[in-house]
Amino acid sequence: MLPLKDEHVALRLVDVCKTFKREKRRKGRWPWQAPHADETATLVRALDHVSLEVRRHEIFGILGPNGSGKSTLVRVVSTLLLPDSGRVEVFGYDVVREEQAVKRLINRVSVEAAFFKKLSAMENLIFGARLYGLPGAEARRRIVAILERLGLDEEATYQPVEDLSRGMQQKVAIARAFLTQPILLLLDEPTTGLDPRSRREVQAFVRELRDTHDATILLTTHDMQEAEQLCDRVAIIDRGRIVASGTPAALKAQVAPPDGAAPTLEDVFLALTGRPLVEWADEEKEVVA
């Protein structure tokens, strides 16, 4: 394996910013026509001076509402987006300058299970494994073992992915990432849309990965309970800014709910942003003109 430049800090973000430009065009106007007054491009600040550190072997949660920048953060770490400014390091390797090294250390699972839907789980996973230099026979062996561990039966392994339930697809996605033995695993809402049982299975597997496979895990979620039960430390992100971070217990200790009941992470979010976490609507994202 690649020697690590930094043995102790799995992920370090320093002052990272990422802004997207969104062109607004009215329907029915030709591309060459001069833009209308209300058609000016808007800038969306998805990451706003984000700094954080994830230590090796941690399960670190990014908790935030829709559109708060969770996926953008994960994409910046996984070399799929270039940060506008700031520094991102994976075990000491810079994601922009040492892209190939970083790629060998990480893998990612996204919310939507991205597969060739007509191909079977096995075919999709073999493809993924070969991209990481695994020989076919060994890949096959590992895939069977992992899928079995994740509770996918043999038959499902050879069916087109589109015929699998959402929960099963998500397990195949996790298998794809795990197959390449990343030491930093990025999970973008790994349990969203899963039924309670699949959710618990996935969570158990995440713990197992950390405990038995020398993996560090960064996961995003908007599920309070998940953050609380699964994560060693949590950062709360809102409109691209980290508003608080620490162990779930420490975060909760920061706030005293009005009725004297035990505080939840929900209360923490409310106290820090003045808004509830769950009712946060999509169209309220920060728009910087």
Ligand X SMILES: Nc1ncnc2c1ncn2[C@@H]1O[C@H](COP(=O)(O)OP(=O)(O)OP(=O)(O)O)[C@@H](O)[C@H]1O
* 198 in Cβ contact with 39 (< 8 Å): no
Q: How far apart are CA 131 and CA 172, in angstroms?
A: 16
Amino acid letter, 53: E
For 211, the token pair is 């405990």
Minimum CB separation of residue 195 from Mg ion in Å reads: 20
Given the rule CB under 8 A, which of 51-59, 98-106, 191-199, 229-237 is the region that contacts another protein?
98-106
Q: Which residues pair with 242 in a beta bridge?
A: 237
Q: Which parts of 78-133 fold into alpha helices (H)?
A: 99-105, 121-131
120 neighbors 155 (Cβ within 8 angstroms): no
Using CB under 6 A, pick the residue from 49, 103, 207, 285 that binds ligand X.
285
| In the complex, minimum distance from the CB of residue 105 to another protein, in angstroms, rounded to a whole number | 9
Count residues near Mg ion (CB under 5 A): 2
| One residue of 10, 11, 46, 139 binding ligand X per CB under 6 A | 46
Binding flag, residue 170, another protein (CB under 8 A): no
Chain positions 106 to 145 lying near another protein, rule: CB under 8 A, are 106-108, 110, 112, 114-119, 123, 126-128, 130-135
Residue 84: partners with Cβ closer than 8 Å, 6 or more residues away: 17, 18, 19
DSSP string, 123-159: HHHHHHHHHTT--HHHHHHHHHHHHHHTT--HHHHTS
CB-based closest residue to Mg ion: 71
Q: Which stretch binds ligand X (CB under 6 A): 5-13, 27-35, 60-68, 101-109?
A: 60-68
Residues that bind ligand X (CB under 6 A): 20, 22, 44, 46, 64, 66-72, 222, 285
Residues that bind another protein (CB under 8 A): 20-21, 71, 75, 78-82, 100, 103-104, 106-108, 110, 112, 114-119, 123, 126-128, 130-135, 160, 176
